[in-house]
């Protein structure tokens, strides 16, 4: 724990992490054609942050969407990430949108279809009076969304705050084309990391990372946004 805190205190707020990040090779030759399709553009929060075609998460197509509403119902702005080791994998996603074109039902479809057990949220719903993430769950109880042929009910089962982050148990009930699904997930929320800036409490961040690592098997798939 002390080593992680020391590393974070040294790295965050200095040029170290910026140098490390800038040194990561970026393959700009990889295509992002699906993300740039006219029917998908409004699903992306930022035009310069698009998933590659070969690593993007594929949603199951919804027949009713394809026929009437959305011919690209298999698209979501999210990517499969593989790290070192056989179990070092997760999904990196943008925060769901509730404005202009709501992608919250797509987000919960992804969580169910990919059998995600843990969601890690970095940041808050509103930043500088603008949405940075749609309200895809509520600490106050239940969120219900109707986007036929998809309906979603998200219920907060419990929440605790062991440090400057929240750990919640969330139940998701969905109906997709008349089929009902039910899934429980663990949700970690560290709100004190702004989109443009550094986190204010490195100890809380380190505690959350250790909590996740110690509480869940490495084989469990997580989604980060």
Asked if residues 73 and 24 have their Cβ atoms less than 8 Å apart, the reply is no
**CATH code of 68's domain:** 3.90.190.10
Of the candidates 112, 119, 93, 94, the residue with the CA atom closest to the CA atom of residue 188: 119
- What local confidence, expressed as pLDDT, does residue 186 receive? 98
Q: How many domains does the chain have?
A: 1
List strand residue ranges (DSSP E) for the chain, in order.
56-58, 75-82, 89-93, 118-122, 126-127, 130-131, 142-147, 150-160, 166-176, 179-190, 222-224
The Cα 40–Cα 78 span in angstroms is 13
The whole domain housing 180 covers 2-224
Q: What is the pLDDT along the chain (225 residues), one digit of tens a residue?
A: 556 656 666 666 566 666 666 666 666 678 999 999 998 999 999 998 999 999 999 999 887 665 556 778 999 999 999 876 666 689 999 999 998 889 999 999 999 999 999 999 999 999 989 999 999 999 999 999 988 788 999 999 999 998 889 999 999 999 988 899 999 999 999 998 887 777 777 788 888 989 998 998 888 899 999
Task: Determine whether 101 is exposed, middle or buried from the number of CB atoms within 10 Å of its CB (0-12, 13-18, 19+).
Answer: middle
**Tokens at residue 104, please?**
């919250």
Torsion sign across C-alpha atoms 31, 34, 40, 44: negative
Assign 3-class secondary structure to 69-97. HCCCCCEEEEEEEECCCCCCEEEEECCCC
- What local confidence, expressed as pLDDT, does residue 63 receive? 77
């Amino acid at each position: 724990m002390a080593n992680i805190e020391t590393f974070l205190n040294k790295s965050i707020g200095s040029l170290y992490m910026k140098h490390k990040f800038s040194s990561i090779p970026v393959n700009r030759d990889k295509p992002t054609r699906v993300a740039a399709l006219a029917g998908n553009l409004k699903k992306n929060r930022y035009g310069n942050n698009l998933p590659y075609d070969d690593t993007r998460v594929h949603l199951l197509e919804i027949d009713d969407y394809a026929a009437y509403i959305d011919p690209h119902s298999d698209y979501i702005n999210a990517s499969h990430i593989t790290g070192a080791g056989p179990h070092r994998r997760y999904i990196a996603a943008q925060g769901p949108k509730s404005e202009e074109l709501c992608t919250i039902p797509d987000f919960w479809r992804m969580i169910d279809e990919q059998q995600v057990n843990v969601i890690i949220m970095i940041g808050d719903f509103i930043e500088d009076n603008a949405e940075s993430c749609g309200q895809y769950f509520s600490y106050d109880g239940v969120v219900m969304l109707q986007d036929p042929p998809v309906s979603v009910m998200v219920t907060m089962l419990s929440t605790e705050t062991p440090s400057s982050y929240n750990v919640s148990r969330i139940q998701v009930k969905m109906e997709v084309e008349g089929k009902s699904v039910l899934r429980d997930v663990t949700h970690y929320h560290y709100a004190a990391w702004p989109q443009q800036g550094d986190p204010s409490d490195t100890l809380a961040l380190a505690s959350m990372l250790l909590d996740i690592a110690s509480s869940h098997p490495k084989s469990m798939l997580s989604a980060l946004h």
